[in-house]
Chain A
Amino acid sequence: MSFVKLSASALAIAAVSATTAAARDQVQVAGSSTVLPYASIVAEAFGENFDFPTPVVESGGSSAGLKRFCEGVGENTIDVANASRAIREKEVKACAENGVTDIIEVQIGYDGIVFASDINGNSFEFTPEDWYKALSAQIVVDGQLVDNPNKTWADVNPAFPAQPIAAFIPGTKHGTREVFEDKVILAGCEHLGDFDVYKAANGDDKKAAEKACIALRTDGVSVDIDGDYTETLARIDSNKDGIGVFGLAFYENNTDKLQVATMSGIVPTTESIATGEYPVSRPLFFYVKKAHIGVIPGLKEYAEFFVADEIAGPDGPLAEYGLVSDPELVKVQEAVANETVLGGGS
């Protein structure tokens, strides 16, 4: 039957083409969904301006990206991992076990984290203390640790309207959550002096006190969002009292639906984040496998292009999209040019 022959030959073709997987000619990137928009902007411009094909950028999260990055050296592994946090000691070890020893760390700039609510609702001027008092599982009242009794923002701070507290914060799998806990909740906890109470309650254990500080209430007032910022936006759309945590770039693309709250009196902008006045921000990175430079065409050019002044500089397209440019970009450029690897030496 010709039909049998046809399918047999199709099978054969599939098998042959699978085994002759030719040398890869484009850079493969994976990792943080926060870095993804920036990486895709760079990849697109790279494809347009160089004779190399446009790099492929996958999302999936910092941890997943670094895990794939550390799987080994070779064409079947990715060349670059995007991350919204620095690589961890554990991950460097895992990399080394699989033969990925020379890793170039590139810091591309900073990402601001903003608090925004519905455009037609009340406006807020927060401090970290407010967020700690609104969301921590336990707070100190009259020197005693009690379960968080605050129901409205007016309970937290008399200057606020009596709007029910409804916070949409990034879920624990997001890198943003860590920054939120460190720079907002923990900072508020320490400022208020509650940290010392926790410390005393936990027998002078600093780690345990920190943990207790950032333990958030579980009575439904604070909702973990495991999806993307679009989901947070949809939640605020349906609950007008909600206040969400967003990336600066996302907010700037949705200013018709969201109003941003100040933090400690500072309005989040790329400028106020660059100077460090706005407190809630974090560095963004990508990691390059040195062993792949020279093997995968265009890899080094891509890394250099990413941190070039015309791309990552204060007037470049990345800053325009919401990335806070690294004031020490020159050093980063040098490190990339010299292929400086992690862990000292070169």
Chain B
Amino acid sequence: MTDISQTPAAAPAAKPKKGSLFEQDARTKKRNAAESRFKMYGIAAIGIGLLMLIVLVTNIVTAGTGAFQQTFLELNVELKEDKLDKKGNRNIEDIKKVSTFGYAPLIASAIETEVQELGIQTDLSPKEMGKILSKAAQAELRNYVIANPDEIGKTVSFRFLVNSRVDGYMKGRVTRESIANDKSITVAQLDFVDQLRDAGVLYKAFNPDFIFGSDASDQRPEAAGIGVSMLGSLFMMFVVLALALPIGVAASIYLEEFAPQNRLTDIIEVNISNLAAVPSIVFGILGLAVFINYMHLPTSAPLVGGLVLTLMTLPTIIISTRASLKAVPPSIRDAALGVGASKMQAVFHHVLPLAAPGILTGTIIGLAQALGETAPLLLIGMVGFIASNPPDGLVAGFLSPNSAMPAQIYEWSKRADPAFYERAWGGIIILLIFLVTMNTIAVILRRRFERRW
């Protein structure tokens, strides 16, 4: 900078240089040095950025991959008729009267039988042995019996989840030392787990329920999955796409192609940029006040979440759409108008198709932004124990309470059991996969279809 401003002032005074181009004088050297220094700074900046990304990604991957695996125990359970169907008439209403608590003895005696068959020596009582299993096992068993009442009286093979402490032990998070003060598991139970593992009936395996399942209560982190909140996110994205894209594109086409340039459009323009910078939590408060309290839309519903995120995504889409409309050269419009097209025909037949790749890219980036947004969802009731029922049908998907992926991750990170922490990281991996995919699609679309003039 200083060199440039000084040189012209100094130039007339100095005599024309005799030196060759291959010989650098002091000033050139200085300029070249400054340039290479700047390059170094640039490389260092990229290096720091990359390093942070690597640290972040390794952190996420090491902490989160555990969530995709879960420890299972194979068990043959005898569905005893005297416990499940005392009248013996296979009446479904009578079978339903046995609550999940009534299934605990079945599991305990199944473990006892299995231990005898495998020849495992242990001092634990059947009830204590049963406690290494997840509480979700009883529910799984009950659901199976209600779905297949004809199986009562038979022995059926199951693969049950074990509880979060045992799973943590298999993953190395829980050790014999760390459970010294723990009331929910004993060293003897861990010894028993070792014996079952050596016998080959207790093992770690890929757990699809983490990706497709529903949230579970604080007592069963092992059974919690992100699937239902993924559906919640999906329905929200439908709403955002269906509203933000047409509104955003219509607004930008009008502003860019039809609107007169006056003070009013200037104000609108400035305010769209302002809107893009508004913190997302503000949209959450707005959503609560307008959509829930005033319009009486149901709380926790993906429809409301989608409406709030639409407000947030609109400016992103408008700004990128206007930029891509502006990038279409005026000669195209002029040519269309010149052969007698109306202004609307020129815009819709020629300008818009040429701008479409840019619009799509902007939309996808806007959607990705909305997908990762948590703050506004806190205020419209999407955080808590919400994502427990998969929606049954399209309307229910929009209207019945659900969470969203980032909200679910936030909720898991708050819960007491450290096993939820692992699931929060696992959820982050899934969310990141979605975001990376969406952004990659945006980049590919831009590369493939965008035309430069």
Residues of A in contact with B (beta carbons under 8 Å apart): 1, 4, 7-8, 10-11, 13-14, 17-18, 20-22, 24, 26, 28, 30, 33, 36-37, 39-41, 43-45, 47-49, 51, 53-54, 56-60, 76, 78, 228-230, 247, 249-250, 252-256, 259-260, 310, 317, 320-321
Contacts and interface: CB of A to CB of B under 8 A. Distances in A.
Interface stretch (B204-212, B327-335, B385-393): B385-393
A253 to B, nearest CB: 4
Task: Determine which residue in B217, B303, B389 has the highest number of CB atoms from chain A within 10 A of its CB, and name it.
Answer: B217
B270 interface: no
B244 to A, nearest CB: 10
Given A56-B300, A228-B414, A254-B418, A259 B181 contact: yes
Given A43-B385, A58-B300, A255-B182, A310 B99 contact: yes
Contacts of B218: 36-37, 40-41, 321
Given A249-B416, A250-B416, A53 B389 contact: yes
Given A8-B246, A44-B217, A37 B416 contact: yes
A45 B243 contact: no
12 contacts: A10-B243, A14-B242, A17-B303, A22-B399, A28-B401, A47-B389, A48-B139, A58-B381, A59-B411, A76-B296, A230-B413, A252-B183
- Nearest 3 CB-CB pairings of A with B: A7-B246, A256-B178, A40-B385
Given A11-B242, A253-B416, A56 B386 contact: yes
Contacts of A255: 178-183
B389 A26 contact: yes
Contacts of A320: 184, 219
A7 B245 contact: yes
B336 interface: no
A18 B182 CA distance: 49
B299 interface: yes
Contact of B388 (A13, A36, A54): A54
A22 B393 CA distance: 13
B213 to A, nearest CB: 13
Nearest to B298: A21
Given A14-B242, A254-B418, A56 B384 contact: yes
Interface in B274-301: 292, 295-300
A82 to B, nearest CB: 10
B152 interface: no
Contacts of B298: 21, 24, 76
B174 A14 contact: no
A226 B383 CA distance: 17
A252 B216 CA distance: 19
Given A7-B242, A48-B139, A58 B389 contact: no
Which residue of A21, A48, A56, A254 has the most chain B CB atoms within 10 A of its CB atom? A56
Nearest to A259: B181
B84 interface: no
A228 to B, nearest CB: 5
A46 to B, nearest CB: 10
Interface string B142-183: 110000000000000000000000000000001000111111
Nearest to B135: A317
A8 B246 CA distance: 8
Contact of B299 (A11, A28, A49): A28
B217 A17 contact: no
Contacts of B418: 253-254, 256
Contacts of B179: 255-256
A47 B220 CA distance: 15
B148 to A, nearest CB: 17
Contacts of B245: 7
A229 B239 CA distance: 35
B217 A1 contact: no
B192 interface: no
Contacts of B112: none
Given A17-B303, A17-B399, A43-B217, A57 B384 contact: yes
B303 A14 contact: yes
Which of A8, A39, A41, A49 has the most chain B CB within a 10 Å cutoff? A49
A346 B32 CA distance: 90
Contact of B100 (A28, A48, A57): A48
A44 B223 CA distance: 12
Contacts of B180: 255
Contact of B401 (A36, A56, A228): A56
A17 B385 contact: no
Nearest to B386: A56
A36 B413 contact: no
A225 to B, nearest CB: 13
A323 to B, nearest CB: 11
Given A22-B399, A76-B299, 18 more contacts: A1-B348, A18-B297, A18-B303, A21-B399, A22-B395, A28-B299, A28-B401, A40-B384, A48-B142, A53-B389, A58-B383, A60-B383, A247-B416, A254-B418, A255-B178, A255-B179, A256-B174, A256-B418
Contacts of B219: 37, 41, 317, 320-321
Contacts of A14: 239, 242-243, 303, 398
B226 to A, nearest CB: 16
Contacts of B181: 255-256, 259-260
Interface centre among A18, A26, A36, A310 (most CB of B within 10 A): A18
B395 A57 contact: no
Contacts of B183: 252, 255
B417 interface: yes
Given A58-B383, A256-B179, A21 B297 contact: yes
